[in-house]
Each structure stands twice: as structure tokens, then as C-alpha cells.
Amino acid sequence: MDKQQMTKTILDAKKDKNVSWKTLAEKTNLNPVCVTAACLGSASLNETEAQAVISVLDLKDEVKQTLMEYPLKGNGQIVPSDPLIYRLYEIAYVYGSSIKEVVHEKFGDGIMSAIDFTLDVDKVEDPKGDRVQITMTGKFLPYKKW
């Protein structure tokens, strides 16, 4: 089973059993974004976490094995046309250089880790319309000189 087949199997079972990402997160002791990334094929789970997913969704061991495989990240990646995902790219296009300048000013020459990293998505209720709050936290990795 490849990652694409795994994702379809998980999404179908999730829908059939009416299971939320929050429930899978609770059962795996992971953040909802983290477990979702694994179920969509762009991250991996350890054996205990993968077992929790297949137990909740009543799936076969081949799904567990595929959940544990390391993914090829960004393979064939193009800017998606899905409006929500596209807006995240748009934010990077519009504000990426500004964010880079501010990070360099505060930390120096380096990058924010996407490995030692967390991401949370929250709903902020607002009378003018609810807001999406995305919080990214990554370790700062300075460039080394040699």
C-alpha cells in the first residue's frame, strides 16, 4: 500500500465512522495537525501512534505499516489551487520577505526549523466573524561559519 492509497483508506474510514481529527489526536497523544499530516501522507507515526489510528478506524495492518513509513515530502509540489492552502502560499509570497527580515533582526542569520517545530490551529470567536489563528513555533538554527 502506498501513501496515496493509505490516505484514501483513512479518509474513507474516518468519514464512515464519523471520527474527528481531534479524536485521533487524543488517541495518539499528538497535536491534531501532526496526526492529520501523517494520515494525509506527509509525516510518519511510530508503531504505538499508528496502532491507535488503525484501532480507532478499524483498519488493517497494512495501513499501520504505511503510516510508519517515512514520506517523500513535497514530491512534485506545485502551488495548489485549493483556496485555503493557496492563501497560505499567498501569505508567504506577500509577507515572507518581511518575516525573514524580522527574524534576522531578532535572531541573526539563520532559519526556523521545520523539524524541531510545532503548529497549532485555533478558532478565535469574533463578533465581526470568527478568525483562524495559526501559531508556528520552530527552533532557531543559526548558519555556521567555517
The residues annotated with a catalytic role in the active site are 87, 90, 113
In this structure, are residues 31 and 118 in contact, taking their beta carbons and an 8 Å threshold? yes
**What residues are paired with 124 via a beta bridge?**
131
All cell numbers assigned to 36: 492529520
How far CA 19 is from CA of 24, 32, 53, 59, 120, in Å, comes to 7, 12, 10, 13, 20
Give dist(CA 98, CA 92) in Å, integer: 9
